[in-house]
Amino acid sequence: MKLHTVVAKHGVACGVLVMLLAAFGIAPHENAEDDRIVTVIEEAESYLGVRYRLGGSSRSSIDCSALMQNSFSAAGIWIPRTSWLQADHPGQTISSISDLRPGDLVFFPSRGLTIGHVGLVTEIRNGRVRFIHASSNNGEVAYDFLTGRWVDSFVKGKRFFKSSGTPPSVSPPAVPSSSRSFPLASQRRLTASDIQGLSQHERDVIRNELYAIHGYELHINRAMMNHFNNLDWYRAIPNKTRNAERVWSRMSQVERDNVIFLKNQ
């Protein structure tokens, strides 16, 4: 009998439910809000490259506030259509950039308005805040880092999720170099002598490992799927994604150069 049927039929109390979950081999979510934050971010990232158009709200063209509204809608959360109304929508106001976390909205002035532009924080790495937005400057939906003029014009942030105290796992944990087959690929640009004598399969493993360590879900090449799914560190990475652009943005420039180098060998 399925677990939800048992619960519905017998009205299980909370403590007993946890024991039932364990008996069925199902781990309860520590914070279901984290899943919704990931859903919002991944929906926004699915619009990467879509043309910017003021008033647009579709996958052919979209503006900043429509991108936010559509992304939150994917997680079952309604927010207003315009950036200034989104800034006033009930939620937690974030005054300091250092307090931002993935899933927060960030607001900026635009077109003479105190608040006329909005973006979504997708990742915080080494203290750098990255956000996704649809802007006329980029001409499309793209990532930017909250640096330079964005810091100078930052008005505030807004959080529509209950805070668990720690950011959700939208980025994979660091993989120890000792666990990797070829950690040198993240340390410096490879040369022909570095891979001399390696088979094509071994070179493919190195290239795919650069994606895997950043949380890419290998799903096309069966040989690579089998290889990495047998590795403990890869299986332990939470919230893997098939969004190659997202993973590419996580790589260092050295890693990107090595991916291209290995692909051309």
Per-domain residue ranges for the chain? 1-27, 32-159, 177-263
Yes or no: say if 175 and 108 are a contact pair by the CB < 8 Å rule. no
Neighbouring CB atoms inside 10 A of 120's CB total 24
Q: What is the pLDDT of residues 174-226, one digit of tens each?
A: 777 777 888 889 889 999 999 988 989 899 999 999 999 988 998 888 888 98
Choice among 16-20, 41-45, 109-113 with the minimum mean pLDDT = 16-20
d(CA 109, CA 253): 32
The set of catalytic residues is: 64, 117, 133
pLDDT at 250 > cutoff 90:
no
d(CA 69, CA 71): 6
Fold of 32-159: endopeptidase fold (from Nostoc punctiforme) (3.90.1720)
Q: What is the pLDDT of residues 74-108, one digit of tens each?
A: 988 999 999 999 999 999 999 999 999 999 999 99
- 66 pLDDT band, cuts 50/70/90, is very high
